[in-house]
Amino acid sequence: MINITKKEARQYLLRYQNLYNPRQLKSDEEIVGFIKKIGCIQYDPLSKIARNADLVLQSRCNNYSEETLYRLLYEKRELIDGWDKNMSIWSVKDWPYFAKKRTSYINRFEKRANEFNSVRKEIIKKIKENGYISSKDVSGNQKVDWSWAPTDIGRAVLESMYHCGELLIHHKKGTRKYYGLTEKLLPAQIFNKPDPNSTLDNYNDWYVKRRISAVGLLWNRSGDAWLGSHLKKEDRTHSINRLLKKDEITAIQVTDIEEIFYLPKKALLILNDKERHNEAALIAPLDNLIWDRKLISRIFNFEYKWEVYTPAKERKYGYYVLPIIYGNRFVGRCEPIIDRKSKELIINNWWWEKDIKIDQKMTEALIRCFTDFGKFLNVGKISISSTLVKKDFKWIGDCVKLKY
């Protein structure tokens, strides 16, 4: 058991998540390596400012653009749109490890094989002719029962083939998915590779370690970080004990927190890193760092809820609010709004955490952070809402005015 302070835990988590010195990943190889390390990043189609996956990467990458993720997904195909923690993006090299999950879907949809068969044949025929297909390209208006509500049979069959591994997302236009045959889109050595997890225990251990790695430091306590794993606490406990015996994870005790945390054994080098940084970054609402909100509350003393699904009158802050880190702590949150016609980023609202002292170094870090954010969003101007006291945010005017 290793004992660390909350400050050490904060610094470790931010280092592990490439956020203690943010926006440093430069190459496609480094981005793919980061995603491989953390397992997956969560995808959400909502794009009030930008989609979550792009917000996750912009805070870690130098000169990041949405075209980068598109290229890695649909041109180089080093990443995959796949289910993990809900809709996610993960390394193509992880495909063989999800064999048991695909098998569970095959067993689930087997009873509907006769119902779906004619549409499935039509889909395969059209993909072989055109390379890909979307739900609007499938004939028929028949409605069938589906997981959330009755839906068109074409969409249901496409999704069942996707979950069973027969199809992959070939590309997207906006939020519309176009599917292609998996065997044509994946390298043969990956598509044909046997399941590395020979037993269910092996698979559970792999998944538990994957989720610990996704956050960097995790406890065996129910929370959103475990979504999609389908493991009960008892199953996780067995896996954690086996992983400890195999020396693949390390137990950590954080000062003043009763629960035991676990980190990947390979991450001990990051835990022992003492290099200091004082930079700022905007954090995506579904960023891996804040998957477990209770964990973040205990270690960082920061409460956060994504309020897009909260009725307006019940919101504490706003519809689309992003946390802000500086150094090793959360210092506040802001509500950015983008005017796409005028290419202007407007800071509509801002909330500092308690006891924050703003000095010149923090101001300079915020200028760098928002200048890079403006470049990512392709805006030419950053301004503040008339509801904010301008003198408190005069540094906004020091953000570089961008020219394209």
Q: How many CB atoms lie within 10 A of CB 374?
A: 22
How many Cβ atoms are within 10 Å of 54's Cβ, its own excluded? 23
Q: Are 236 and 226 in contact (CB under 8 A)?
A: yes
For the 96-185 domain, the top CATH level (class) is: mainly alpha
Per the structure block, which two tokens stand in for 13?
């988590």
CA distance 364 to 362: 5
Band (pLDDT 50/70/90 cuts) for residue 44 is very high
Residues 6+ apart with CB under 8 A from 379: 338, 343, 344, 345, 402
Is the CB of residue 86 less than 8 Å from the CB of residue 227?
yes
pLDDT of residue 20 exceeding 80, the answer is: yes
- Please provide the average confidence, as pLDDT, over all residues in the chain: 94
Q: What are the start and end residues of each CATH 1.10.10 domain in the chain?
A: 96-185
**At CA 4, angle to CA 289 and CA 356, rounded to 5?**
60
pLDDT in tens, 189-236: 999 999 999 999 999 999 999 999 999 999 999 999 999 888 999 999
pLDDT digits (tens, 9 = 90+) for 88-147: 999 999 999 999 999 999 998 888 888 888 999 999 999 999 999 998 888 767 888 877
299, 216 Cβ separation under 8 angstroms: no
Residue 372 has pLDDT above 90, yes or no: yes
User: Is residue 280 a contact partner of residue 365, using CB atoms and an 8 Å limit?
Assistant: yes
User: Which residue would you say has higher pLDDT here, 118 or 181?
Assistant: 181
- Which residues make up the CATH 3.40.630 domain(s) of the chain? 280-398
Residue range 9-21: mean pLDDT, rounded: 97
- Pairwise CA distance, residues 347 & 392, whole Å: 13
Q: In terms of CATH architecture, what is 280-398?
A: 3-Layer(aba) Sandwich (3.40)
In whole angstroms, give the CA distance from residue 374 to residue 381.
Answer: 8
Over residues 53-62, the mean pLDDT reads 98
Query: Looking at the predicted structure, is the pLDDT value of residue 403 above 70?
Result: no
What confidence score (pLDDT) does residue 115 get? 87
The arithmetic mean of pLDDT across residues 253-265, rounded, is 97
pLDDT attached to residue 402: 52
